[in-house]
Amino acid sequence: MAFCSRAGGRAPAASAIRWKDPRRYYWLLGLLVPLSPFIGWLLVDRFHLGLFWAAGALLLVGVVPLIDLVAGVDKSNPPEQAMAALESDRYYRWCTYLFLPLQYAGLVFACYVWTTAPMGWPERFAMAATVGVVAGVGINAAHELGHKRPTHERWLAKIALAQSFYGHFYVEHNHGHHLRVATPDDPATARYGESFWAFLPRSVIGGVRSAWVHERARLRRRGARTWSVRNEVLNAWALSVVLFAVLVAAFGWSVAPWLVVQAILGFTFLEAANYLEHYGLLRGKRPDGRYERVAPEHSWNSDHVVSNVFLYHLQRHSDHHANPMRRYQTLRSMPNAPQLPAGYAVLIVLAFVPPLWRRVMDPLLLEHYDHDLSRINVQPSRV
């Protein structure tokens, strides 16, 4: 009878019910990022070395890649029958919800340190780098929350974006990037031969413009004024204005420059992730001239375990573009997607040094397209 049950297809479902997420409690490690300002303070107090004020940056570009190297990659996916239960498990939502209070506790603590601790300019910048990393990963948490239907999660996304003054990302990413990804029309898709430093202003300015155009059109369709509280770009930016005003009022104008520095570092981190996620990839055109649907091969992926845990599976980017409403814990490794040679942290550092980036990534891109430049999203100056 047991053999007949397996043949009839009921045993796999029972097996799926018994399936447990082996990473279930590892997702809490992502909270080390917003805790990094406090970790830095403890390390400075213990070792009297100002470098540890940069604990957030050291964690992301030093510790995580080293552990990634040891832990390696994991391409396993949850069984299909377990997906619904995994998706609805609220534990995973709280792993992202908890990021926000810790994020803002760290920002307030940084303001306190900037105004009270005996720090030189390099140490102040190191702390700005730490909270900038928190802001950048906070944009990633906002990315996860902003795709979801519940209203409270969308507002949490805007709150997470307020620290980096990047509230327009909430609009542009969902209604701009996801429609135009892997095309020359997308400001957030990097082109073959385009350095990160050329991409950065194009993506920042293009993203603001795209968000504003979309929101103005949306409000006009509804007969509403563009300049109103219903404007999703303006109300998201307003959260940043209020946040910065409160912090300056509480701690004085001396924190204002460092708030600006950490915000710039935060969205630079986000744009570096944008840069590597679709570098040089291009969707083909259909006979009617429109671009083909987004497929797994239009996003670079990485299955490095530790960096995926810290970034809520952002590196499983192909499945995210195919299923943007899917929660991070259910994102799948896609075997036909182009694979990055390392996790995001390593490649972001490479992106900051264009010759190193080209040496590593250009051969992989060319191999992906069989060295056919007509299938690659090429920087116009390289044509």
Residue range 155-214, pLDDT digits in tens: 999 999 999 999 999 999 999 999 999 999 999 999 999 999 999 999 999 999 999 999
pLDDT for the residue 13: 47
- Given a cut of 50, is residue 284 above it in pLDDT? yes
Show the 3-state SS of 253-274. Answer: HHHHHHHHHHHHHHHHHHHHHH
> Model confidence at 383, in pLDDT bands (50, 70, 90)?
low
Helix axes 256-277, 121-146, angle to 10 degrees: 50
Residues ≥6 apart with Cβ < 8 Å to 124: 53, 114, 258
Residues ≥6 apart with Cβ < 8 Å to 202: 187
Taken in order 142, 143, 145, 147, the sign of the CA dihedral is positive
pLDDT for the residue 104: 98
- Given a cut of 90, is residue 1 above it in pLDDT? no
pLDDT for the residue 167: 97
> Model confidence at 18, in pLDDT bands (50, 70, 90)?
confident
Distance (Å, whole) CA 327 – CA 319: 10
pLDDT for the residue 17: 56
Instruction: Report how far apart, in Å, the C-alpha atoms of 206 and of each of 182, 199, 213 are.
Output: 15, 10, 10
pLDDT for the residue 3: 32
- Given a cut of 60, is residue 14 above it in pLDDT? no
Torsion, Cα 169 171 175 177, to 10 degrees, reads: -10
Per the CB < 8 A criterion, the answer to whether 243 and 161 are in contact is: no
pLDDT for the residue 121: 96
Instruction: Report how far apart, in Å, the C-alpha atoms of 374 and of each of 41, 220, 284, 370, 379 are.
Output: 52, 39, 10, 10, 12
In what helix (H) or strand (E) does residue 44 lie, and over which residues does it extend?
helix 36-47
Smallest Cα–Cα separation from 34: which of 61, 69, 60, 71?
Answer: 60
Residues ≥6 apart with Cβ < 8 Å to 118: none
What tens digit of pLDDT does each residue of 246-276 get? 999 999 999 999 999 999 999 999 999 999 9
What tens digit of pLDDT does each residue of 350-360 get? 999 999 999 99
Quick one: average pLDDT of 79-104? 96
- Backbone angle region of 342, left / alpha / beta, with phi > 0 → left and psi within -120 to 50 → alpha: beta
Per the CB < 8 A criterion, the answer to whether 190 and 274 are in contact is: yes
pLDDT for the residue 6: 38
pLDDT for the residue 10: 45
pLDDT for the residue 11: 43
- Given a cut of 70, is residue 9 above it in pLDDT? no
Quick one: average pLDDT of 51-80? 94
Averaged confidence pLDDT in the chain: 93
Greatest pairwise CA separation for the chain in angstroms: 76
- The residue type found at 131 is V
pLDDT for the residue 335: 87
> Model confidence at 221, in pLDDT bands (50, 70, 90)?
very high
Quick one: average pLDDT of 71-93? 94
pLDDT for the residue 8: 40
* Three-state secondary-structure class, residue 285: strand
